[in-house]
Amino acid sequence: MKWNAFILTSLAGITTLVGYLFVYLKCRKEKIIPIALGFSAGIMLFISLCDLIPNSYHYFNDKYTSIYALICSLLFLILGFGLTFSSRLIINENDNLYRIGILSLITLMLHNIPEGIITYLTSTIEIKTGLLLTLSIALHNIPEGICIAIPIYYSTGSYLKAFSLVLLSAISEPIGAILAALLIEKYLTPIVIAILLALTSGIMLSLVLTEILKESTKYSFRRTRQALLLGLLIAFISHLLF
């Protein structure tokens, strides 16, 4: 275990807890929910379209031809969409906000584990690059925490439950680092990483398009649209800088 790399990966994950603090804002439910969900949706859309899908294609392309790599990425992307729809049968909740919180948790954990793997490996190879990557991940982990905390808190009224689930998402990043340290040479091949990235992007896109935005616009279409554009802009600036 490279402890410097593990600490950086853990710090990136811990910033998810900053998103939990938004439950303490004294705002009306009708105001905070569309802003929080719209902003998170913008971040998640950008991550899916400009990070996960291109990286999945890149890993597949290292092994296969361009056309085959594209087909593989699209197939696992579609499978990710299908997994989200199937999860509705498992998470059979009438409370839309609660379901969004749980689905966000599952999706973001699937995203954070390979992200933790990549952060750990990058920091092991080059600490300076690892620091920049950690900062970039920390910035987009904050709205990810919001996307879990706000729906869970406003659907249950429990600060503890919201904190516990955000914490679970936060520790998935160092779990990725541990997996990288223990299993990378044996199991985590580029193809496995490519599949995980494509699946996660499909789940994330489906969650945003069919759950988060649908619920958010019930409260305010205007606030959702503004927060969505702000999330996309901040994600884009972060992408350019880091």
Do 42 and 231 contact (CB within 8 A), yes or no? yes
> Would you say residue 24 lies in a domain?
no
Residues 6+ apart with CB under 8 A from 65: none
Other CB atoms within a 10 A radius of the CB of residue 137 amount to: 25
Number of domains in the chain: 1
d(CA 88, CA 84): 7
d(CA 106, CA 169): 8
Query: What residue numbers bound the domain in which 234 lies?
Result: 3-15+42-241
Torsion of CA 8, 14, 15, 16, to 10 degrees: 130
Do 8 and 119 contact (CB within 8 A), yes or no? yes
Residue with tokens 């503890």: 160
- The reported pLDDT for the residue numbered 5 is 85
For the chain, 242 residues long, the average pLDDT of each consecutive 10-residue run is: 85 92 83 87 87 89 90 92 68 70 86 82 71 75 88 92 94 90 72 83 85 87 93 83 66
> Would you say residue 177 lies in a domain?
yes
Do 56 and 194 contact (CB within 8 A), yes or no? yes
d(CA 227, CA 199): 26
- The reported pLDDT for the residue numbered 121 is 77
> Would you say residue 212 lies in a domain?
yes
> Would you say residue 30 lies in a domain?
no
Rg (CA), the chain: 17
> Would you say residue 37 lies in a domain?
no
> Would you say residue 215 lies in a domain?
yes
> Would you say residue 22 lies in a domain?
no
- The reported pLDDT for the residue numbered 69 is 93
- The reported pLDDT for the residue numbered 185 is 54
> Would you say residue 28 lies in a domain?
no
